[in-house]
Structure 1
Amino acid sequence: MPDFHSPLEAFLYWEAKAPKNIFLKQPIHGKIKTYSFAEAGEEARKIASAIQSYHLPNRSHVAILSNNCAHWMMADIAIMMAGHVSIPIYPTLNDASIKQILEHSETKAIIVGKLENFETQKSGIPKMPMISVGMFGRYEGDLWEDLVQKHSPLQDVYIPKHDDLHTIIYTSGTTGNPKGVMHTVNNFAESSKTFREVMQLQEHIRMFSYLPLAHVAERAMCNSGITLGASISFVESLETFAKNLEDTQPHIFFAVPRIWTKFRDKILDSMPQKKLNILLNIPILNSIVKNKLRQKLGLKEAVFIVSAAAPIASSLVKWYRKLGIVIHQGYGMTEDCCVSHFNTPQASKIGTVGKPLMGVKAKLSAEGEICLLNNCLMVGYYKNPEATADVFDEESYLKTGDIGEYDHDGFLTITGRVKDQFKTDKGKYISPSHIELMLSSNTDIEQICIVGTGIPQPIALITLSETGKIKLKAQLVEGLIATVNSINPNLEKHEKVEKVIIMKEDWNVANGLTTPSLKVKRNSIEKIHQEFYKEWFESTDKVIFE
């Protein structure tokens, strides 16, 4: 298999070499609609012709607003074929956020696909050419299906140059407005090559795409899939997620820690921990139970399983290992095209994010900030030279904003975020990340935000997991106090957790308290709750219900 210089070059290779191989699998109304490389190529070429008929300026910015689906992938390929630059937009954003990105990015046209709330979002789209997909109930602007009937396939497709701008990815940002991260064609070619080699992936693997394609990690993984001639399956709905995953049995699976927690909760719903322990300790039943659970999760044939985007509790990784599911934690960000650190089958240490990947140079600043150099760093932030200058040091290393430390074997542990540090009224700085990770061993907790500005000791704001929500109040409180008492001896005096506050509502994208990649938005949570810190701290209760 050749080294491809762009995702489009990889697609064209498989379109020519294996035209009948299934490329995309889209569940719709309980059935699977498949697209071979030839069929996807023909639709993409026709949509590319349609985009060219809009007579946009050369290298225009064309947005994609959609959940993951076959049409997202074909739209991305069509934009490349037409010689333009893609602007992916998170499908959960509200109209104001969509408008801000479209205007800032100077987008000239938009493709709208599979969405749940487009009626509330469409007011954020300024007047511009719009293509919508009828298969998903979208009928605004020009209909995808009509354009496919009307236009001939574009034969003379644009072949991207090495340093062409490929995409602008707007970060989901836990603070402030998102910034537009500019990546070249070469950056995605390099990240795809790195992932293929690190994960030792073979041609024609099965993939399952459900994390937002507007996020760099899922985009990079799917681009890696294109280079391998992979078959990529999608989700029909949240309700069908488990079935879609089980039916796919992907060879590679990537999830964020919250998803691993939810998977565990589902298993324990049907098989309590005590029963599971007994079955796993019986030699003959052990392998039967493991195989059945892996099959049901959709991970029976997975050769590489990943957790990233946020720290995962070591206890959770160990729990899965007892089921024969080995989760490799990795670390990367939009700005470095996800090429940073990874645990691999050859070099793995639970509790760390692994060693630097091939071609990555890493160092720690005097303050402990992780700084990176690789051959696929972003060009910069779109129309933001000041922020671009601030994020690179004098040696052109990217300043990640994360604080970390290396052990004597070269494995990196993330210990916090530079901007997440806060000071209690004792004048002591606290990095909350490691405390949150310790607390996450309690399966009754879904999300955690350690805070403490203006009070003597930190307190934990939490939301409850499904198992936590159904527990008796006394049992829940007892368990939370036991967890706090177990972790406090391992913390410095000024870090010891004083109280646990249980939030009334979950934190999610809809209420603006998590990013689309499910990271907690600390600033937004603090803005709502900081006025109550003193009152909560002075309460005689150790666990407080908001």
Structure 2
Amino acid sequence: MPANRDASFVDNLAQNVAVLFLDRVETSPQAEAFRFPVGEAWESVTWKQAGERVSRLAAGLLSLGLTSEQRVGIASGTRYEWILADLAVMCAGGATTTVYPTTNAEDTAYIVGDAECQVVFAEDDEQVAKLTEEKSQIPTVKKVVVFDGTTDGDWLIGLDDLEKLGEAYLAEHPGVIEETATSIAPDALATLIYTSGTTGKPKGVRLLHRGWVYEGAAIKSQNILHEDDLQFLWLPMAHSFGKVLLSTQLACGFATAIDGRVEKIVDNLGVVKPTFMGAAPRIFEKAHARIVTMTASEGGAKEKIFQQAFKVGIEVDKRKREGKSIPLGLKIQHGLFDKLVFSKVRERFGGRVKFFISGSAALNAEIAEWFHAAGILILEGYGMTENSAGATVNHPDEYKMGTVGQAFPGSEVRIGEGGEVQLRGPHIMAGYHNLPDKTAETLTEDGWLRTGDKGEIDADGFLTITGRIKELFKTSGGKYVAPPAIESKFKALCPYASQFMVFGAERNFVVALVTLDPDAMAGWAEENGMSGKSYTEIVQSQPVKDMVAGYVEQLNAKLNRWETIKKWEILDHDLTIESGELTPSMKVKRAVVEGNNKDLIDSFYG
């Protein structure tokens, strides 16, 4: 059955996010809205309970003098209170300004100051300390509302204190939340998200109510998510990918289980048993690597059965996608392997997953095929902060692996000059905050967003992204190289890889820097008589270098001659958000890594 491309829903969008939320509360009052961890248990709230709390918090913000489109910061990891705060800002007519909890004090002050935030929600004492340290730089901030941490009853108040202010305000102004919500125009500012740029200060992307409402409605129109679905949400809510999943929840009405602790994802999936989840490719790479290396460590018959199962699974899957018949012998084998192997893989993710959605970076097609062979569909999508996160996505009934799917109904994608992907529709940003020149560079006069990504669209409208235009480079021999394609191939081959970064612009050959996953290497060390040694000792050892060399050799066999990796080195540390080498959405800051390792890269060409 082909995906629904009907865009008539665009004419009947909710007026704004606040109305969308209040309508959901009215439509599904007793249905589960959110669940979240409290100690080792999970607590659940209905839409009515969430609505009452959001109304009190929104009224609290109004009592502090918040007016239309004024900014309110949220400096916190992903948790239930983040969502309450964001919805309260929407219902009070303000605009949420997101701050990653990993952002340093100086950049936190820059974002809060540039946005002229009136109020900031802060997760804990660590986030409060950043604001206190830079208090002179954020003169517009009247109050800091703390989720968990110390308050002073003056500048620093608790979430409960804000609710009490709201209760008193509602007693004097009954109906104020509904009145405020219906007064917000579709083109009013809803969110300021500061992109974690690889150079210079972050840019504030101005996203409107109509963009978020459109995104949720576009996904709802495709009839793939319903009220009886259950989402597991761990993504950073400070990132547009997390925010768009909230808009989708309001539009579709399903429940969401929330826990932002990345290290708990796999454990939580087993407990929560969701029907879908959004994630960055790194999560799927890690899960794939963990399953493959665990099975390899068991060895013997188990490993042989596992390998044969995936050989059969991938063959059956390929035949199905190509519309070919499956021979009886292969069908019988597949049924047996499904019981022995694939069902156990699905069980690790809770056993109820209809599909995963992958976004924020390119997913390797071989990893997508491996999961699909086990009966787990990963739908890859594409978008960026500047278009409210979602621009294209594959559909469960109509998908092509290796592509990022077709344009959302009601919006457009085209290939512009130099192969650049360009987008147009209700989801496009209003511009960059206080940066008219940057806005003019990025938006064309007739409303197209220049993405900076290179891509191709096939005859069926499926988009394939080949890389960032500025990341593509030419060797001194005049050959073009697309690093992301090579990097994702290596990560599909090597289950121990964390990052593989390719360099070689204007040089006569291509080189790479490798980082290995600390969890996977701890397992490798135990099996190879190196347990107890430090990460650096393990990854710099000769057996590990030999192991990686084998995977580089396999990679080179799949590449064009000019793309092959002639020299490489394993770094003594993995890249982290804290070190500034990864963005909070787990993308590599290539320029930072290249700058930090300039001497090493130069030495390859010595």
Superposition TM-score, scaled by structure 1 size: 0.91
Residue in structure 1 matched with residue 581 of structure 2 by the alignment = 513
**Alpha-carbon distance in 2 for matches of 1:263, 1:169:** 29
Residue in structure 1 matched with residue 456 of structure 2 by the alignment = 405
Residue in structure 2 matched with residue 542 of structure 1 by the alignment = none
**Alpha-carbon distance in 2 for matches of 1:509, 1:291:** 34
3-state SS of paired residue (1:218): helix
Give the deviation of 1:410 after TM superposition: 3.5
Q: Residues 237 and 372 of structure 1: is their aligned pair in 2 closer, same or farther, counting only changes over 3 Å?
A: closer
1:34 pairs, out of 44, 47, 52, with: 44
**Alpha-carbon distance in 2 for matches of 1:392, 1:138:** 44
**Alpha-carbon distance in 1 for matches of 2:146, 2:474:** 50
Q: Which letter maps to 1:143?
A: G
Residue in structure 2 matched with residue 46 of structure 1 by the alignment = 56
**Alpha-carbon distance in 2 for matches of 1:260, 1:117:** 30
1:488 pairs, out of 544, 548, 556, with: 556
**Alpha-carbon distance in 1 for matches of 2:98, 2:365:** 33
Q: Residues 33 and 256 of structure 2 are in contact (CA less than 8 Å); yes or no, is this contact kept in structure 1?
A: yes
Mapped pair 1:129 → 2:142? yes
Q: Residues 373 and 397 of structure 1 are in contact (CA less than 8 Å); yes or no, is this contact kept in structure 2?
A: yes
Q: Residues 244 and 121 of structure 1: is their aligned pair in 2 closer, same or farther, counting only changes over 3 Å?
A: farther
Q: Residues 97 and 124 of structure 1 are in contact (CA less than 8 Å); yes or no, is this contact kept in structure 2?
A: no
1:360 pairs, out of 411, 414, 425, with: 411
Q: Which letter maps to 1:413?
A: T
Residue in structure 2 matched with residue 329 of structure 1 by the alignment = 380
**Alpha-carbon distance in 1 for matches of 2:48, 2:144:** 22
Give the deviation of 1:483 after TM superposition: 3.4
Give the deviation of 1:203 after TM superposition: 1.9
**Alpha-carbon distance in 2 for matches of 1:369, 1:347:** 25
**1:169-227 CA deviation, whole Å, 9 max, x = no partner?**
11123343221111111111101011223362112421111101111111011111022
Residue in structure 1 matched with residue 499 of structure 2 by the alignment = 447
**Alpha-carbon distance in 2 for matches of 1:480, 1:137:** 46
Q: Which letter maps to 1:139?
A: T
Give the deviation of 1:266 after TM superposition: 2.8
Stretch moving more, 113-122 or 143-152: 113-122
**Alpha-carbon distance in 2 for matches of 1:460, 1:323:** 32
**Alpha-carbon distance in 1 for matches of 2:245, 2:349:** 20
3-state SS of paired residue (1:505): coil
Q: Residues 117 and 498 of structure 1: is their aligned pair in 2 closer, same or farther, counting only changes over 3 Å?
A: farther
Q: Residues 27 and 236 of structure 1 are in contact (CA less than 8 Å); yes or no, is this contact kept in structure 2?
A: no
Give the deviation of 1:119 after TM superposition: 4.3
3-state SS of paired residue (1:420): coil
Give the deviation of 1:268 after TM superposition: 3.1
Residue in structure 1 matched with residue 114 of structure 2 by the alignment = 104
Give 1:10-409 correspondences, 5 Å limit.
Answer: 10-113=20-123, 119=129, 122-124=132-134, 126=138, 128-134=141-147, 136-137=148-149, 139=151, 141-152=156-167, 154=170, 155-157=175-177, 158-159=180-181, 160-198=184-222, 200-235=224-259, 237-272=261-296, 273-277=303-307, 283-284=335-336, 286-287=338-339, 289-298=341-350, 300-409=351-460
Q: Residues 532 and 184 of structure 1: is their aligned pair in 2 closer, same or farther, counting only changes over 3 Å?
A: same
Give the deviation of 1:464 after TM superposition: 0.7
3-state SS of paired residue (2:109): helix
**Alpha-carbon distance in 2 for matches of 1:395, 1:418:** 22
Q: Residues 46 and 482 of structure 1: is their aligned pair in 2 closer, same or farther, counting only changes over 3 Å?
A: same
3-state SS of paired residue (2:583): coil
- The unaligned stretches of length 5 or more in structure 2 are 1-8, 297-302, 313-332, 529-540
**Alpha-carbon distance in 2 for matches of 1:451, 1:278:** 36
**Alpha-carbon distance in 1 for matches of 2:238, 2:261:** 18
May I ask how many residue pairs the two structures share in their alignment? Answer: 536
**1:47-87 CA deviation, whole Å, 9 max, x = no partner?**
22221222244431111111111111111111122221111
- Report the identity percentage: 28
Stretch moving more, 426-435 or 159-168: 426-435
Q: Residues 48 and 82 of structure 1 are in contact (CA less than 8 Å); yes or no, is this contact kept in structure 2?
A: yes
